[in-house]
Structure 1
Amino acid sequence: MSSNINYAKAFGIHSAAAAFIFAILYLPFVGWFIRQSFVRPTYVHFILVVFTLIRLGAFILRGILATVESVGEDLSALMAAEVLFGAGFFSLLYASYTLVLDLEIMQNRPESSNPLIRLTKNRRIFRLTLVIAVILGIIAATSVSDSGVVSSSGQAMRTASTIIFLVLTILQAFQTFMLAQMEIATRGREKRDNESFGARHSMSILFIGAALLLVREIFATATMTNLAKQNDEHFWYPLMATPEILVVALMSIPGLVPRRDEVNRRNPQDLSMQSLQA
C-alpha cells in the first residue's frame, strides 16, 4: 500500500547512515554467534544468533525506509520494521535471563526454598510472559491507520507490552543481583589458572549488561505515551539501539557463556527440564 504520506519520516526515521552503520556493526556479531553455536553449543548462543539476525534485517530495512521514498510511503514496510524492532528484544532479554540462570547453576548452590524466588527462575513462565508482551507489541505496531495515527486500542496494547518488558527486565536485573550475592559468598574459592577473562569477570559484565537493559526499558517506558519523543533519533539511537548492541558485545566476550554440557554436568537432574524450558 502506498500514499503521499511518508510514514517513515512521520515516525521519526530519517537517518539512513545511522541505520546502515548499525547493520554493519551487527554483521560480525552474527558470524561470531553462529560460530560459537558450533564451538560452544548453548541456548544462549542460539538465541543470540536469532537476535543479531533480526537486528541486522531490521536496521537494513530502517535504512531503506529512510532512503527510498516509495518504501517510506509504504505503511506495511514501516509496520514490518516496527515488528522486527519490538519482537527482537524478546531474544536479547531471554538470552540475558538464561545466561544468569545458567551461571547460577554453575555455582553449585542449592535451590532456594522461597516459592517466589523459585517462580522467578521458571524459564517457561518467563518465556510465556515475554511472548505475551511480543504479541501485544506486534498488534500495537500494526494498528497504525492510513493517516499515520495509532489507534487508542493500539496505544493501550503498546503500553501494556512496554510495562511487561520493563517488569521482566527488572526481574532479570534482580536475578543478576542474586547471582552476585552467591559469587560474593563463595569468593574464597580457588580460581583456575586457565580461567578465561569472561569467567573471571562474569559478575561485572552481567551487571553492566543488566544496567544497559534497564536504561533501554526505562526510556521506552518513560516515552511510551509520547511516540514522537521515543522515535526521535537523537534519543532512540543512544538510549535504545546503543544499549542493545553494547549488551550483545558484552555477551560475546570469550568464556562468559558456559557450554550446555558444562551446565548439565553441574545439574544433571535438571537435564530433561532444561531441554524443554531453555
Structure 2
Amino acid sequence: MSSTINYAKAYGIDSIAGAIIFTILYIPFLALYVFQGIRRRTRVYFSLTLFCLIRVVAFALRSALAGSTAAATDENVFIAYEVIYNIGFFGVLYSAYTLVLERESLVDMDTILMYCPGPLQLIFRITRRRSLVRIMLIVAVAIGIAGITDITNAKSEADVNEGTSLRSASVYIFLAVTCLLVVQALALSVATMRTLDKEIHAGQQQSYGRGAPGETFGIFVLLAISALLLAREAFYAATTHKTAQQTNEHLWYPLSALTEFIAIALFAVPGLIPAQDELPQEEREMNLLA
C-alpha cells in the first residue's frame, strides 16, 4: 500500500490530547505496580506492570500518530501501535483471571461445585487451569496480529476480508475468556458469601477478609473489574465488522480506553491482591508452574 496514506485519519486517530492524557495517567500505576511487584512478588503484579508499560508505549505512539504527519503516514509506526495496543489486553485480562483463581483458593469453592450439574462442574475445573487460559489468550493475540498485518498490507479486497476475519476471531476468543472470567467471579462471590456465613455461625474470625478494603470488599471490586472488561470486549465484538464505529474516538475512548483504565485503577485497591505467603501452599506451587 502507498506510503502516502494517512493511517491516523483512515483509522480515526485524531485526538492528541486524549492520547497524551492516557499516557500520563498510566505512568503512576506503572510505578505503583513495579513497586508492589518487587515488594510482594506476585504473578498478578507482574502482569499488571507489563500491561501498564504496554499502554504507556501504545498511547505514546497514538499521540505521535495523531500529532505528526510523518508518523501518521508511516505504515510501520501504525502497525507497531496496533500490535502493541492489542497485545496489551492480554495483560489486564490474565491479571483479572489469575486474581480470581487466587482468591478462589481462599474460600470453599468445592461446596459450590457440589450443587452444579456434572457438565458445569467439568467446565469450572477446566477453566480454572491457568495454562489453558494462557494458551487461549496467546492464540487470540497471534491471530489478532496476523489480522492487523493482513489488513494494513492488503493489496485486494480478499486480503482485507481475510484480515478482518482473523481480527474478528481474535476478538471472539477474548470475549469468550472474558465471559469465563465473569462466570468465575460470580461463582467466587457465592462461595465467598457462603464461607463468611459459615464462619459467622461458627463464631470464627475471618482469616482473610478484614482490615484493608480489598480484603473486605474484594469480591465486589472483582465483579466491577470483570464487568468493565466485558463491556470493553462487547464493544469490540459488536463493532468488529464496523470499522468506522470501532475507531470513532467518541465511542472508542469511553468504551475501550476508559473501561480498561478504570479496571487497572481498581486493581490498586489496598488488600485486593493477596501476597504469595497469604495463599495456600498448593496455590503457591500452581503459581510457580503456571
- TM-score band by shorter chain is over 0.9
Matched letter for residue 246 of structure 1: I
Match of 2:247 in 1: 231
> 1: distance between equivalents of 2:89 and 2:69?
28
Q: For the Cα contact (< 8 Å) 1:65–1:71, is it kept in 2?
A: yes
Q: How many residue pairs were aligned?
A: 274
**Who is 1:172 aligned against?**
181
Q: Which residue of 2 aligns with 1:254?
A: 270
2:285 to 247, 272, 277: 272
Q: TM-score, normalised by structure 1?
A: 0.93
Structure 2 counterpart of 1:178, one-letter code: A
Secondary structure of the corresponding residue to residue 36 of structure 2: helix
Select which of 126, 142, 145 maps to 2:149: 142
Q: 1:36 to 1:148 in 2, by over 3 A?
A: farther
Letter of the structure 2 residue corresponding to residue 258 of structure 1: P
1:146: Cα distance to partner?
Answer: 6.5
* 1:20-35 alignment, distance < 5 Å: 20-35=20-35
Within 2, Cα distance between the matches of 1:107 and 1:23?
38
1:153 to 162, 165, 171: 162
CA contact (8 A) 2:218 2:272 kept: yes
Amino acid at match of 1:145: N
Q: 1:14 to 1:147 in 2, by over 3 A?
A: farther
Decide whether the 8 Å contact of 1:215 with 1:239 is kept in 2: yes
In the other structure, the counterpart of 1:198 is 214
- Output the CA distance in 1 between the equivalents of 2:58 and 2:190: 37
TM-score in terms of structure 2 length: 0.90
Distance 1:75 1:218, change over 3 A: same
| Stretches of structure 1 lacking an aligned partner (at least 5 in a row) | none
Q: Does 1:126 align with 2:133?
A: yes
8 Å contact kept, 2:109–2:188: no
The structure, 1 or 2, with the larger RCO (C-alpha pairs under 8 Å, 6+ apart) is 1
State the AA in 2 paired with 1:53: L
Other-structure match for 1:77 = 77
Q: Distance in 2 between matches of 1:233 and 1:178?
A: 35
Identity of aligned residues (%): 38
Contact 1:2 1:73 in 2 (8 A): no
Q: Quick one: distance in 1 between partners of 2:10 and 2:162? A: 20
CA-atom RMSD in angstroms: 2.0
**Hey, what's the Cα distance between the residues in 1 that align with 2:66 and 2:48?**
27
Matched AA of 1:117: F
**How many Å apart are 1:85 and its aligned residue?**
1.1
Q: Structure 1 residues 208 and 243, CA, compared in 2 at 3 Å: closer, same or farther?
A: same
- 2:257 — aligned with what? 241
Deviation at 1:269, TM superposition (A): 3.4
Alignment of 1:11-50 (within 5 A): 11-50=11-50
Deviation at 1:151, TM superposition (A): 1.4
- Could you tell me which runs of 5 or more consecutive residues in structure 2 were left unpaired when the two chains were aligned: 115-120, 200-204
Which has the higher mean CA deviation after the structures are superposed, 147-156 or 158-167?
A: 147-156
Partners in 1 of 2:161 and 2:103 — Cα distance? Answer: 42
Partner of 1:96: 96
Structure-2 change in CA distance of 1:271 and 1:40 (3 Å)? closer
Which stretch shows the higher mean deviation, 110-119 or 82-91? 110-119
Against the structure 1 CA distance between its residues 195 and 148, is the aligned structure 2 distance closer, same or farther, given a 3 Å change threshold?
farther
1:182 Cα shift? 0.5
Cα pair 1:75 1:146 within 8 Å, conserved = no
The Cα of 1:261 is off from its aligned counterpart by 2.2
